[in-house]
Amino acid sequence: MAFLNGLSAFPITPSDRNGVVDTEALRKLIARLCAAEVDSIGLLGSTGTYMYLSREQRRRALAAALEETQGRRAVVAGVGALRTDEAIRLAQDAKSLGAAAGLLAAVSYAPLSEDEVFEHFSAVARESRLPIVIYDNPGTTHFRFSPALVARLAHVAGIVAIKNPTDKPEEIEAHLAGQRSTTPQDFSIGYSGDWNATEAIICGADTWYSVLAGIMPDICLRIVRAAQQGDMAEARRLDGLLVPIWDLFKEFSSLRTVYAIADIIGVCTGEPPRPILPLPDPAKAKIATRLSLLERNLALHDAMSPMA
């Protein structure tokens, strides 16, 4: 089995306007994920606003999360930075604190070449000795990993997995097969992009790296378990119930939406780091309505299930 598999839940990182992490709120989020028994936790990802936090605050968040998990769940920590030496230090911090792996994106102000990205990732893996997950996030970094670059990096010691974007669901199967053919057998291939991730899991991806699971893990976990058990129809039915939520993600962005969800369901209150603004009240009302609809539809779905 691959090093990372199943559902990896990515929570927000609650903090104040000065960028100081609210560890009590973060612990509540982590406790929910542990109670739901997600397969791993992705801390300090894009939803965790890692690029808006100082090294000190990243350490503070990771230490609190790891203390809350008490080893019950693997924690993958974002270690991306503009400079290679800074990313190395962040990865070393993550390893010393007990993270299972580091999530590394090709973050840059100036456009990077494939050779530059290869050297960046190789150096972080080599110098930190922390297992590294490739984070292909072209919507944010404006760098897309080519099949050839993924194949090169997958054979570097210490680079163990990839978090792929999902652009078109009809292309996932071929994309996954292509990566499988050029990477080691134990290299974990996963996908983000929540509204297409069910199809990725059905196609045989190892991991769903999920934003929604960071705040609403239960239904996401049900989708993954259904797919793992071969019940593709159930996985798709559950995913269908989430279409109104996926539409919110597309309309408002997943980051802004999950901050609003956390507030609406009473898990924690907080605002995304500036200059990102919280959603206005009409948008929050729309999200609250969709959540109520989801709750009703899920109850109806379960009532009609043969297992009910």
pLDDT tens across 291-303, in order?
999 999 999 999 9
> Is residue 266, in this structure, part of any structural domain at all?
no
pLDDT tens sequence across 123-177? 999 999 999 999 999 999 999 999 999 999 999 999 999 999 998 899 999 999 9
Spatial separation of the C-alpha atoms in residues 232 and 235, rounded to whole Å: 5
CB-CB contact of 208 with 7 (8 Å): yes
pLDDT at 304 (0 to 100): 84
pLDDT at 2 (0 to 100): 63
pLDDT tens sequence across 182-240? 999 999 999 999 999 999 999 999 999 999 999 999 999 999 999 999 999 999 999 99
Residues with Cβ < 8 Å from 127, sequence gap 6 or more? 88, 91, 92
User: What are the angstrom distances between the C-alpha of 252 and each of 175, 194, 289?
Assistant: 28, 14, 15
Domain count, the chain: 1
> Is residue 240, in this structure, part of any structural domain at all?
no
The predicted model gives 13-25 an average pLDDT of 96
CB-CB contact of 235 with 227 (8 Å): yes
> Is residue 19, in this structure, part of any structural domain at all?
yes
Q: Which residues pair with 133 in a beta bridge?
A: 103, 161
CB-CB contact of 37 with 15 (8 Å): no
How many CA atoms are closer than 13 Å to the CA of 72, on its beta-carbon side?
A: 14
CB-CB contact of 243 with 251 (8 Å): no
> Is residue 217, in this structure, part of any structural domain at all?
yes
Query: Which domain covers residue 85, as residue numbers?
Result: 6-229
Write phi, then psi, for 209 (nearest 5 degrees). -90, 105
> Is residue 262, in this structure, part of any structural domain at all?
no
Spatial separation of the C-alpha atoms in residues 253 and 238, rounded to whole Å: 21
Name the 3-class secondary structure at 90.
Answer: helix
> Is residue 222, in this structure, part of any structural domain at all?
yes
Domain CATH number, residue 70: 3.20.20.70
> Is residue 251, in this structure, part of any structural domain at all?
no
What residue has token string 């944010």? 140
> Is residue 137, in this structure, part of any structural domain at all?
yes
